Chains A and B, each alone.
Chain A
Amino acid sequence: NAGVTQTPKFQVLKTGQSMTLQCAQDMNHEYMSWYRQDPGMGLRLIHYSVGAGITDQGEVPNGYNVSRSTTEDFPLRLLSAAPSQTSVYFCASSYSGTGPFYGYTFGSGTRLTVV
């Protein structure tokens, strides 16, 4: 059981380049989300999806696009990378039903540097 898999683990981009961060989960979770972690800021929600074909913006969506064509995959696209997007990115997934909620399962992160 792989859980949540993120690729790549590290990436260096030049300002203006675009790229896609990949996220896949094998737990049949309906809910998937992307967070960025910056020093002193905790984890901030970029975009999330409650199921295939449904996405919505989080707290810091500017400069990022997402799509959810399957339950398993939730890629994050940087359209034109900027130094302010230098961060560690985490993908997370969970069940979205009612009842006890045990929180997200996180991937191991992608460390992105934009120069």
Chain B
Amino acid sequence: DQQVKQNSPSLSVQEGRISILNCDYTNSMFDYFLWYKKYPAEGPTFLISISSIKDKNEDGRFTVFLNKSAKHLSLHIVPSQPGDSAVYFCAASHGQNFVFGPGTRLSVLP
């Protein structure tokens, strides 16, 4: 049973609009959440993270929201750019125990 779920395998958004990527988790022990971005033929790269003591973290165009009661987090990208087209992985951790979601492929259309 997947502990971290990303129920949308793919998402298409127009350039300049908002992209919202969603992630759900089942293990209430997770206390740190991260988003990674992956381009083809490259390893994933760290994008943004949030601790369970916060409900929002912002870094430029990227904002992560955490709703602990719903065990849900989301990544907002505003405005979306064609260079944001990639696969986005959500990850949840407790200590060094990391669990990744299956990923969402984002396509930003010019």
Interface residues of A (CB under 8 A from B): 4, 31, 33, 35, 40-45, 48, 50, 90, 92, 96, 101-109
Contacts and interface: CB of A to CB of B under 8 A. Distances in A.
A43 B44 contact: yes
A109 B42 contact: yes
Contacts of B43: 4, 90, 92, 106-109
Given A96-B96, A103-B49, A42 B44 contact: no
Q: Chain A contact residues: over half helix, strand or loop, or mixed? A: strand
Contacts of A96: 96
Interface string B1-45: 010101001000000000000000000000010101000011111
Contacts of A107: 43
Q: Which 6 A-B pairs have the closest CB atoms?
A: A106-B43, A43-B100, A42-B100, A42-B102, A103-B46, A103-B34
